[in-house]
Amino acid sequence: MIRLRYNILLNLVTVFTVTLFFSCKNNFKEVQNIGILSSEPLTIAENIVTKYTDSAKLKSVLVSSKMLDFSNREFAFYEFPEGVDLTLYDKDNNKSNVIADYAIVYDETDLIDLRGNVVLHTHQKDTLFAEQLFYDQKRQWLFTNKPVKFRTNNEIIDGNGFDSNMNFSNAYVLEVHGKIYIEE
């Protein structure tokens, strides 16, 4: 009789343990996100100045009055709702500048979307004006399909769309509407 009770108790404990074991799931991600609303940013930074260096050499300086960090989302991004002022330095320490009313940086795709009164000044005195401009950080390529005005030392070109490498040595205005030659 005692042996029968022991076997029943052992079987119950075994069934209970197995049930508990198989009902558990790995919900570490859920635990991390407790208290974080998916529609809200993870952090908000104000009045930021970020300097990026590589091998003790200054590569860029980003200035913005507000940054929203949405890295808590499945498709993580950083939003700059009040605009950006970005200064870039090339290997010869030449300075180029980009300003925009709004920017968003996507982590997974390394794509930067600049919007609203985008102005890019290069150290060669070329200037690009656009309502929207994308920068592919992996390929170091600038592009848009929106209206642009591109001013070089000797011409002003209006068109719909723009493609260029980062140093503007391979810059093209697409669907050219007009071209004005400037004499010095």
pLDDT tens column, 116-163: 999 999 988 899 999 999 998 888 899 999 999 999 888 999 999 999
Instruction: Say if CB 148 and CB 132 are below 8 A apart.
Output: no
CA distance linking residue 37 with residue 54, whole number of Å = 35
CA distance linking residue 8 with residue 153, whole number of Å = 92
Q: Which fold has domain 37-181?
A: lipopolysaccharide transport protein A fold (2.60.450)
CA distance linking residue 158 with residue 160, whole number of Å = 7
Predicted confidence (pLDDT) at residue 31 exceeds the cutoff of 90 = no
Mean pLDDT over 10-34 rounds to 59
CA distance linking residue 150 with residue 160, whole number of Å = 11
Predicted confidence (pLDDT) at residue 16 exceeds the cutoff of 70 = no
Name the residue ranges covered by the structural domains of the chain. Answer: 37-181
Per-residue pLDDT, 83: 96
Tokens of 34: 């407790």
Q: Spell out the alpha helix ranges (H) of 39-165.
A: none
Predicted confidence (pLDDT) at residue 101 exceeds the cutoff of 90 = yes
Report the run of H or E that residue 21 belongs to, with start and end. helix 2-23
As a whole number, the mean pLDDT across the chain is 84
One-letter amino acid of 39:
S
Predicted confidence (pLDDT) at residue 59 exceeds the cutoff of 90 = no
Mean pLDDT over 6-31 rounds to 60
Does 184 or 73 have the greater pLDDT score?
A: 73
Least confident of 14-18, 36-40, 60-64, 113-117: 14-18
Instruction: Say if CB 152 and CB 136 are below 8 A apart.
Output: no
